[in-house]
Amino acid sequence: MDWTAAKDRTIQRWKEVLAGVGETETVELLRQVNEVCELCEKAQEKAQAKGELAPCPYCIAQQQVGGCIRIRASLSRAIVDEEWARVREIMEGFLHDVESVVPPGEVR
């Protein structure tokens, strides 16, 4: 999978999770927002190729918009507190950021 496909699949996954906010069981929603996405998988592939263990420094979303780590704690807290409007706000902001990411080789 290339970076463009990883980005597209990540966006699709987060949109599906966002659509279930307020309907999905809290524990399941927490699992979904904290699971490894396709951008993580691509970054892991790059890290392993360089003999590294930590994928985040190789993630194009991390490099360009701060990645997912920066929002996961506040997102998880909002889910636990069942603050659905806040959950949607955080997720929509993250989706906007990921949509703005430019994969290597692409020009915008």
Burial class (CB in 10 A: 0-12, 13-18, 19+), 4: middle
pTM of the prediction? 0.89
pLDDT means per 10 residues, the chain with 108 residues, are 95 96 96 93 94 92 91 95 97 96 78
pLDDT score recorded for residue 107: 61
* pLDDT attached to residue 69: 86
Is 18 within the bounds of a domain?
yes
- Looking at the domain assignment, is residue 53 inside a domain? yes
Strands (E) across 13-108 are located at none
Q: Which domain range does residue 65 map to?
A: 3-100
* Domains identified in the chain, total number: 1
Cα–Cα distance measured from residue 103 to residue 84, given in angstroms and rounded to the nearest whole number: 31
Helix axis angle for 3-19 and 26-34, nearest 10°, is 170
